[in-house]
A and B are shown apart, each in its own frame.
Chain A
Amino acid sequence: MNTGFVSSPQGARTSARRLRADKIARWVVVAGGLGIIASILGILAFLLIEASPLLIDASLSPWKRGTNTSSFGTKPVLAVVVDETKTRAIHLDMDGVARVLKVAEEEVQAEKRIVTDAEGAAIVEARVIGSRAMAIALADGRIVVQSFAWNEDTSRIPTEITVEFAEPVVFTSTSKKAPAAWCAAFDPTTGSSLVVSTDATGAVTADVVKINEFTGEADEPDRVSFDAVAPLTDIALGRDLDTIVGATKDSRLLHWSVERGGAPDITETGVREIAHIGFLLGDQSLIVGGAGGEVVQFFPTRASSEQLRLTKIRSFESMPARIRTFGASHRNKAFVLADEAGNVGYFYGTTGVRSFVATPDVGEIASVGITPKGDGIVVGGSKGVAMAKLDDPHPEASFDALFSKVWYEGYDEPSYEWESSGGAASGFEPKFSLIPLIFGTLKATIFSMILAIPLAVLGAMFVSQFMHPRLRGLIKPAIEIMAAMPSVILGFVAALWLAPLLEVGFAAFLLMLVVLPLSVIAAGALWMKVPARIRGRYAMGSEIFVFVIAIAVGIGICILLDDPFESLLFGGDFPTWVRETLGIPYEQKNSVVIAIAMSFAVVPIIFSISEDAFSNVPRNLVAGSLALGANRWQTVTRVVLPTASPGIFSATMVGFGRAIGETMIVLMATGNTAIMEWNPFNGFRTLSANIATEGPETPVGSTHYRILFLTALLLFVLTFLINTLAEVVRIRLRKRYASL
């Protein structure tokens, strides 16, 4: 028994063992701490890595020109178009011959003479229509639409892509003269085409050719004529084969409809001289290219309840020279413009960005286009064809698009919108403003905090300062257990029980906000009226039972008065009253429901931390205050509350952090529409609920996917900042009161 302590070698061993244990413990603690820091940094880094490609600007590879003079084209090219895989290109030369090129091999796969009787009728101009047709205007007034199909021959390995030319559709003009301006449109699904041309006076003829469903041959054209308004410089057509927009010499836009006929809507552009116009994907946005290189976007907005009018939306950075030709993306709102100096500019409609201007060195550019997948630019000019690889994976996401108002097509003014489910083909663009989500998060948080903070802080004050200690020992753990309630249950109950209940009983709820505090105050006053002799028999803090009874009675009164109150003030039905008298929407799953449900999640946290803050106020301060003759209320408000206030602040911050990140309750108990209104009777969409709903659906690597990661990063940073603030305040508090 005494051996371990007397002999010195053994003593040394003991101490060595203890040192070792000490060392191991320290390493375990350090490793644990570092592990936590590392994993947080890891999450942060991961989010950053996933979101960072959003910031990458569009880039273009060096231009690739053909080396073989016969094939890739060193001869003048009027129009050029490539297929989805970029392995085939079709270009049209001055003689009206279309050649299918194998791009990599630089050899001609097939060729077709489109204009068979070209004698005396030189080609004036050619245009690429979409990726499945070209149109050629001839000096004798004829316009030929040549459509083709890209076929995949899967019998060969590797699969070979071939081009199948359809029978060209020929439009003739009565004047037998080359049109002053013209345009053609082709609908690949029906095979129908629209050709519009104008003469020097500005009179417009529109021919619609439909393909007979049975014979497969072209019907006789339906011709619609429009009276001249002014001589036109260029025409743009919608893919609906109905919309016609003409640019006049005096810089106006004339807007016709084939179906409606009659006089056009007229819009002043303000551009000095219009050189070229064209539609972006979706046929809503019209890009106007000026003679001075100006680039302006227009689309229809609601001028009155009935009428849509083309409105100038935004100007882009100008091109160096007069705009010559235009090509729109087939996937998004990107477009390319070529000017007369041989420059090609790449733009993005929605964000108003000109990413770059490049010079492909093909002489005078006749045709410019974006490849079908949006991964390349192809130009044709007097010195042949050139292609370059385009890398613009996330054109919709710019800082401005994410955080400032954007004027989207179909909207009457710039706004913050979140609508991620835009489809590429529909022309309906995704809208990625984070502001509505941030707004929704703040709205959820603020509405919840308005309810939760007073409830939790005053509750903590009461429990720690006024309640009988034995009851406090019961209540505090009970409330803390509430914090462990899975929020999915809260959301479920809120959505399926509370929301419908509140819809019918909102009047009672409003009453409670007034009646319950009043009934507690009245109960307190009554209790003070009880003769001190009787009151003195009960221990301090037992008045809680009086309050509990008062609250129960108050709730009963509110429920009883619900109907009379509702009919008296709200005409019988509260939601109807909100809609009709206040003129704002009432949704069943609204912000009030969220505030109540979220309170159940947040109150326990705030309560618990602020109760600690209250209880940690040294008792001798309380005694000091009481010994000076202060009553309990004065002591609590003037000594305890100020001393506990940093702790309470820290508690509300932690509650704030919890509310910001809360997902299930808001997901289940709101409509999740990304609107930005402070109306308490409708819903919102929060960052967290948005991630929860859209995360599983989004294709990995897409812009949407990356923006979701950005929102996750935002959420992470937000909660991190708030919790850090809370912690800093807590530490400062501890230092400040260390001497107490």
Chain B
Amino acid sequence: MLSDNHESEGVEAKSQTERTEPNMPDESLYQAGRGDRKPRQQPRSPSAICVPPDPIVSIRKLSLFYGAKQALFDISMEIPKRKITALIGPSGCGKSTLLRCVNRLNDLIDGVRIDGQIQFEGTSINEPTLDINMLRKRIGMVFQKSNPFPKSIRENIAFGPRIHGINDKATLDEIVEKSLRRAALWDEVKDRLGESALGMSGGQQQRLCIARAIAVEPEVILFDEPCSALDPVATSKIEDLMEELKQDYTLLVVTHNMQQASRVSDYTAFFYLGKLIEYAQTEDLFTRPKMKQTEDYISGRFG
């Protein structure tokens, strides 16, 4: 086994070379996109972007365009396995867009164009030959607004396994119970599994969506502001749940809540205007931000 240190160094070296190389086209794009406006950003310091060990998802030089409009600019970052990585940044900076790139949910949107690469366990996910359904099975997602299907609680959980060919009732029941237990929902709903999921509270619905995502045994779960519509109690339940899920899954979490990011995540990436500004271990980022924008943002001095 390679030591963490060795591997990370290797990757870092590689990404550094990559990063210096495309800097020019990136700048020119930036210029072209913004017309005559002067770039107000400080020049990027390579050290602001860390390279965590043991990555499961690697994003390389990713740019994304909604039609003519560019939403992501040359993002490169590594998502560490079995860790919680938080994406923060002001509204509209492209966090959700990046998240949707990872499970290719952007395919649904008309006119999306992607440059660069995302690798999942070493294979590129943007190959046309890729089995996109298998990819999505392995990379689950929980949305900002809970979206249970208008079916019973049990059917909501069983939906994923069924899709992937499990039809045995006993197995399904087992999966349902296991997933609900992992999502800390079992005790609340075990007596009404047959009832419609739409009758649950918002927090319960969101945990149901988490259970639903767990039911297909993914390796990565993407969370897009999962707690934005929840009260503090429900939020803390879900945060506990994330902490718990970290044992088995890699979590990529978009959040607007600084405390949440600092509480739960191991790594935090700060985005601004479609660019990855800073990426570091959470503690470092919140206590010793390298970039001015990061500092402004986390201290709430952002305007």
Residues of A participating in the B interface, judged by any CB pair closer than 8 Å: 468-470, 532-533, 535-536, 539-540, 618, 620-631, 634, 638-639, 642-643, 736-737, 739-740
CA A631 – CA B213 in complex, angstroms? 16
Contact B147 A621 (CB under 8 A): yes
CA A533 – CA B127 in complex, angstroms? 9
Contact B105 A623 (CB under 8 A): yes
Contact A629 B137 (CB under 8 A): yes
Query: Considering only CB atoms, which chain A residue lies closest to B156 in the complex?
Result: A624
Among B2-10, B86-94, B157-165, B231-239, the stretch in contact with A? B157-165
Taking CB atoms, residues of chain A closer than 8 Å to B147 are 618, 620-621, 623-624, 740
- Check if B110 is an interface residue, CB within 8 A of chain A: yes
**Which of the listed residues B108, B128, B147, B164 has the most CB atoms from chain A within 10 Å of its own CB?**
B147
With beta carbons under 8 angstroms apart, the residue of A618, A623, A627, A630 that contacts B140 is A627
Contact A624 B136 (CB under 8 A): no
Query: Considering only CB atoms, which chain B residue lies closest to A532 in the complex?
Result: B128
- Check if B170 is an interface residue, CB within 8 A of chain A: no
Taking CB atoms, residues of chain A closer than 8 Å to B209 are 624
Contact B213 A628 (CB under 8 A): yes
Contact A639 B149 (CB under 8 A): yes
Contact A532 B134 (CB under 8 A): no
Taking CB atoms, residues of chain A closer than 8 Å to B163 are 625, 628-630, 634, 638
CA A740 – CA B108 in complex, angstroms? 20
Query: Considering only CB atoms, which chain B residue lies closest to A631 in the complex?
Result: B133
Query: Considering only CB atoms, which chain B residue lies closest to A639 in the complex?
Result: B149
**Top 4 A-B pairs ranked by shortest CB distance?**
A629-B137, A536-B128, A627-B141, A532-B128
If the complex has contacts A532-B129, A536-B128, A638-B159, are A629 and B149 also in contact, measured as CB distance less than 8 A? no
B226 CB → nearest A CB, Å: 13
Contact B136 A739 (CB under 8 A): no
- Check if B194 is an interface residue, CB within 8 A of chain A: no
If the complex has contacts A627-B105, A628-B163, are A535 and B128 also in contact, measured as CB distance less than 8 A? yes
Query: Considering only CB atoms, which chain A residue lies closest to B160 in the complex?
Result: A628
CA A533 – CA B108 in complex, angstroms? 18
- 26 A-B contacts (beta carbon < 8 Å): A469-B110, A532-B129, A539-B110, A623-B105, A623-B108, A623-B143, A624-B149, A624-B209, A625-B163, A626-B105, A626-B108, A627-B136, A627-B140, A627-B213, A628-B159, A628-B213, A629-B133, A629-B135, A629-B164, A629-B216, A630-B133, A630-B159, A639-B159, A642-B150, A643-B149, A737-B150
- Check if B188 is an interface residue, CB within 8 A of chain A: no
A624 CB → nearest B CB, Å: 4
Contact A740 B150 (CB under 8 A): yes
Taking CB atoms, residues of chain A closer than 8 Å to B164 are 629
Taking CB atoms, residues of chain B closer than 8 Å to A536 are 128
Residues of B participating in the A interface, judged by any CB pair closer than 8 Å: 103, 105, 107-108, 110, 128-129, 133-137, 140-141, 143, 145, 147-151, 159-160, 162-164, 198, 209, 212-213, 216
If the complex has contacts A627-B105, A627-B140, A639-B149, are A533 and B128 also in contact, measured as CB distance less than 8 A? yes
**Which of the listed residues B129, B140, B149 has the most CB atoms from chain A within 10 Å of its own CB?**
B149
Taking CB atoms, residues of chain A closer than 8 Å to B136 are 626-629
CA A644 – CA B37 in complex, angstroms? 48
Contact B128 A629 (CB under 8 A): no
Taking CB atoms, residues of chain B closer than 8 Å to A618 are 147
CA A627 – CA B141 in complex, angstroms? 6
Taking CB atoms, residues of chain B closer than 8 Å to A469 are 110
Taking CB atoms, residues of chain A closer than 8 Å to B133 are 629-631
CA A624 – CA B213 in complex, angstroms? 9
If the complex has contacts A621-B149, A623-B105, are A628 and B212 also in contact, measured as CB distance less than 8 A? yes
If the complex has contacts A630-B133, A642-B150, A737-B150, are A625 and B143 also in contact, measured as CB distance less than 8 A? no
B220 CB → nearest A CB, Å: 12
**Which of the listed residues B128, B162, B209 has the most CB atoms from chain A within 10 Å of its own CB?**
B128
Taking CB atoms, residues of chain B closer than 8 Å to A630 are 133, 159-160, 163
Contact B150 A629 (CB under 8 A): no
With beta carbons under 8 angstroms apart, the residue of A468, A626, A739 that contacts B198 is A739
CA A6 – CA B133 in complex, angstroms? 63
If the complex has contacts A533-B128, A623-B105, A628-B212, are A642 and B151 also in contact, measured as CB distance less than 8 A? yes
Taking CB atoms, residues of chain B closer than 8 Å to A626 are 105, 108, 136
If the complex has contacts A628-B213, A630-B133, are A643 and B150 also in contact, measured as CB distance less than 8 A? yes
Query: Considering only CB atoms, which chain A residue lies closest to B143 in the complex?
Result: A620
CA A470 – CA B110 in complex, angstroms? 9
Contact A627 B103 (CB under 8 A): yes
Contact B129 A628 (CB under 8 A): no
Contact B134 A629 (CB under 8 A): yes
CA A135 – CA B270 in complex, angstroms? 119
With beta carbons under 8 angstroms apart, the residue of B110, B137, B198 that contacts A628 is B137
Taking CB atoms, residues of chain B closer than 8 Å to A628 are 136-137, 140, 159-160, 163, 212-213, 216
Contact B143 A624 (CB under 8 A): yes
Taking CB atoms, residues of chain A closer than 8 Å to B159 are 625, 628, 630, 638-639
Taking CB atoms, residues of chain B closer than 8 Å to A625 are 149, 159, 163
CA A626 – CA B134 in complex, angstroms? 11
**Which of the listed residues A532, A630, A737 has the most CB atoms from chain B within 10 Å of its own CB?**
A630
B101 CB → nearest A CB, Å: 13
Taking CB atoms, residues of chain A closer than 8 Å to B105 are 623, 626-627
CA A631 – CA B107 in complex, angstroms? 13
Query: Considering only CB atoms, which chain A residue lies closest to B163 in the complex?
Result: A630
Query: Considering only CB atoms, which chain B residue lies closest to A469 in the complex?
Result: B110
A109 CB → nearest B CB, Å: 88
CA A740 – CA B145 in complex, angstroms? 10
Taking CB atoms, residues of chain A closer than 8 Å to B149 are 621, 624-625, 639, 643
B197 CB → nearest A CB, Å: 10
Taking CB atoms, residues of chain B closer than 8 Å to A631 are 133
